[in-house]
């Protein structure tokens, strides 16, 4: 929510800025009645997706999703944009390894840092991932969960004890179950 309206994030392939193509992250700003006041797309020449947005520390917004790095692979994406939504303070793809493919689905502010959950592909399996960054997007901590089956986290929230609760799905083929995981303040189950 903005001071005078709402901010909505998603994915589009029908509106893009110069030097963008395919699917792109789109951000709409509306007034209190829901009437569009501004829109902007972010991304590149490959498919990108916008999944979550929160207010950033010190103003502006943090965007999380995925950014295509090839025609078939994407990485967890994070960007900080200013309050006008037209200027990018920084944008990065996250992952320690060059082959860390995946997507970010949700983000929360946690003790002045940002925590992102999503999935990463390791050895052709989706693993759930938790990535903590500082205000500038530098990775402070990264952990994956799962590996035998496909696992994806789609939501994260802070707990009163200083840890996290994450929700997603786990399974394989067409057989998936809801997955709920709680980590303590030391990021241990």
For each successive 10 residues of the chain (189 residues), what is the average pLDDT?
Answer: 85 83 92 94 92 95 94 92 95 78 94 95 86 94 87 96 96 90 94
Provide CB contacts within 8 A for 103, sequence distance 6+: 49, 51, 65, 66, 74, 76, 77, 118, 119
Residues with Cβ within 8 Å of 16's Cβ and at least 6 positions away in sequence, in order, are: 24, 41, 43
pLDDT score at 22: 83
Type and span of the H or E element at 66: strand 61-68
The per-residue pLDDT for 15 is 77
Triad 108, 113, 116: Cα angle to 5°: 40
* Per-residue pLDDT at 4: 82
pLDDT at 1: 62
């Amino acid at each position: 929510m903005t001071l005078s309206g709402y901010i909505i994030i998603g994915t589009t392939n029908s509106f893009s800025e110069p030097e963008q193509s395919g699917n792109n992250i789109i951000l709409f700003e509306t007034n209190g009645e829901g009437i569009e006041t501004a829109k902007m797309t972010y991304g590149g020449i490959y498919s990108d997706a916008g999944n979550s947005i929160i207010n950033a520390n010190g103003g502006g917004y943090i965007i999380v999703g995925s950014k295509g790095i090839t025609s078939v692979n994407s990485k967890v994406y994070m960007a900080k944009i200013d309050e006008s939504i037209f200027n990018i303070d920084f944008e990065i793809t996250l992952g320690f390894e060059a082959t860390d493919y995946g997507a970010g689905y949700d983000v929360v502010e946690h003790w002045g840092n940002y925590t992102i959950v999503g999935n990463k592909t390791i050895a052709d399996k989706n693993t759930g991932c938790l990535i903590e960054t500082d205000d500038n997007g530098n990775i402070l901590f990264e952990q994956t969960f799962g590996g035998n089956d496909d696992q994806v986290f789609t939501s994260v929230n802070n707990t009163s004890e200083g840890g996290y609760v994450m929700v997603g799905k786990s399974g394989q083929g067409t057989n998936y179950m809801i997955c709920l995981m709680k980590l303590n303040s030391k990021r241990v189950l």
